Structure formats: structure tokens, C-alpha cells
Structure 1
Amino acid sequence: MSVELDHLIVSVRDKRASAELLASLLGVPWRDSAEGHFTPVYVNDGLTLEFDETDAVPTLQHYCFRVSEEEFDAIFSRLLGRGIAYRSTPMGSVDMTVNTWSGGKNIYWEAPEGVLWEILTVSYARQPQRSNQLEEVKRS
């Protein structure tokens, strides 16, 4: 069996609103927390984001989704339709620009509760040069 990430906890002030917004942007299902403590967003067949409420000011959380070009365009369109500001880098000002430096497209947007969301079409963490470095580490 390969190692797969099953779920993550996302701490927010309003779990229902946060889960509903993300699910609507990504075009994926979610469920209200009436049946349990967490409000889940079903990202795909193997990954669930479990939204949990906290009264504390959440620390920065960053989650990135790799998507196809078609999915990127659909999510981007929904983001624009909701008037959500975005940027091309994880830090810095809102520049309303799509980043293309990795050979694909990516954008970042911040949710009101402090979560930094990202979508990309090409993983900059898994570029060929980086993958070769990982293989060398595995062989050591």
C-alpha cells in the first residue's frame, strides 16, 4: 500500500461558511456538521478537509491543490464570479495576476479566516530537477 494523505484539519472561525465557500469554488461536495463535530469538504475520493471552529485567531495555514488546466479555468472563473481577490505569489500584495513561472498556472487567495489557498496546474515542488534530487536522497 502506498502512503496517501486522508484528511487535514482546517481551523477557522466559521466552519460552515468556510467549507461551503471552498467547496463551491472547487466544485466539490461538502456536508454540514449536523452529523458530527467537523464540517467536511470532499476534495477527491481520497482526501477530505475537515473544517473545525476555533475562537482563537488561527495561525497561517496554506493548502495547495494541483488541478488540470480545465479545472483551473473553472475554479478561477468561480473565484472571479465571487469577486475574490487573488495574487501570483504566496506573500505580498494582491496583484490579480496568474503566475506562470513553473510552466503552468497558479494563484493564491486568502480566506477571511486567514487560510491561504492555492491552485496550480504544474507542481513547482515536483519539477524534474527536484524529482532527481529526491531520487538521490532515496538511494543514499
Structure 2
Amino acid sequence: MPAAFNHTIVHATDPEASARFLTEILGLPAPVWFPPFQAVVTANGSSLDFIDAGGEPFDTQHYSFLIDDEELPVIRERVLSRGLETWGDPQRGSPGELYTQNGGQGFYFCDPDGHLLEVQTRPYF
């Protein structure tokens, strides 16, 4: 079997809140408690496993999610309704904009811990 991505660990100050945030924004099933993780399972079966950083500082990361064209405005509205900023680029130089790439669209926003999240309607490759 060829290699397939399965999961990654995401440090958080409040794993339950961060996992719930992601599921609510993306419209995914509720997080799964898999001690010591709050796992968010995506449509392709991969998971982001949120773990308590224990008060220690951690680097923020970037996570991108492939969505359907119809989901983009719905997810964007969920993000904006929370009063969050969005950007059309990962450097955060184009506030409020969407980007276009490979015939699709996308945007960036941050989760409660500052991880840079991206939704895109077409893969890069």
C-alpha cells in the first residue's frame, strides 16, 4: 500500500475548545476523545489530534483543508460571524480577500491559538 497521511498532533492551550472550533467552522462531526487527544477527523479519514501544551510555548502551524466550491461561502460566513479576520495570502497582507489558484478559490484565518488555517476549493497539485 502506498503511504497515506493519517494524523498530526496539534498543540493547543485548550484542546477541547480548539477541536470544537475547527469542527464547527468546517462543518465536521464533533471531536472524538482519544486520550490524551481531542481528534478532529476529516472527510478523508485523516485527523488532527489536539493535545494540551501544558502551559509551554509552542510554534503555530499551517493546516489546509480542501473543500467544495459550495462550502466556501458557508465556511467564510462562519469565520466572519465569529469576528475573525481573513486573508487572501499566508503572509496576511491581503485582509478580507480571497485568492484564486488552479481554477479555485481560498482564504486563510487563524484558530484560537494562532494556527494559520486555509480552506481551498482546488488542490495545488
Same fold (TM over 0.5): yes
Bigger helix fraction: 1
Unaligned 5+ residue runs, structure 1? 127-140
Question: Residue in 1 aligned with 2:65?
Answer: 65
Partners of 1:18 and 1:8 in 2: how far apart?
A: 14
State the alpha-carbon separation in 2 of the partners of residues 94 and 69 from structure 1. 21
1:3 Cα deviation (Å)?
1.9
Q: Match of 1:122?
A: 122
Q: Write the distance in 2 (CA, Å) between the matches of 1:90 and 1:41.
A: 23
Q: How many residues align?
A: 124
Question: C-alpha separation between the residues in 2 aligned to 1:94 and 1:85?
Answer: 10
- For the Cα contact (< 8 Å) 1:88–1:97, is it kept in 2? yes
Q: Percent identity?
A: 31
Q: What root-mean-square deviation, in Å, do the aligned CA atoms of Structure 1 and Structure 2 show?
A: 1.7
Amino acid at match of 1:8: T
Partner residue of 1:48?
47
* CA distance, structure 2, for counterparts of residue 4 and residue 32 of structure 1: 21
Tell whether the 8 Å contact from 1:16 to 1:32 is kept in structure 2 after alignment. Answer: no
2:79 paired residue number: 79
Segments of structure 2 that go 5 or more residues without pairing to the other structure are none
C-alpha distance in 2 between matches for 1:15 and 1:3: 28
Distance 1:73 1:121 in 2: 11
Contact 2:6 2:45 in 1 (8 A): yes
Whole-Å separation in 2 of the counterparts to 1:32 and 1:103: 34
Q: Please state how far the C-alpha of 1:73 moved relative to its aligned partner.
A: 2.4
Does residue 1:24 correspond to 2:24, yes or no? yes
TM-score (norm 2): 0.88
- Quick check: which one's strand share is greater? 2
Residues 85 and 109 in structure 1, CA contact (< 8 A), matched pair in contact too? yes
The two structures have a TM-score, normalised by structure 1, of 0.80
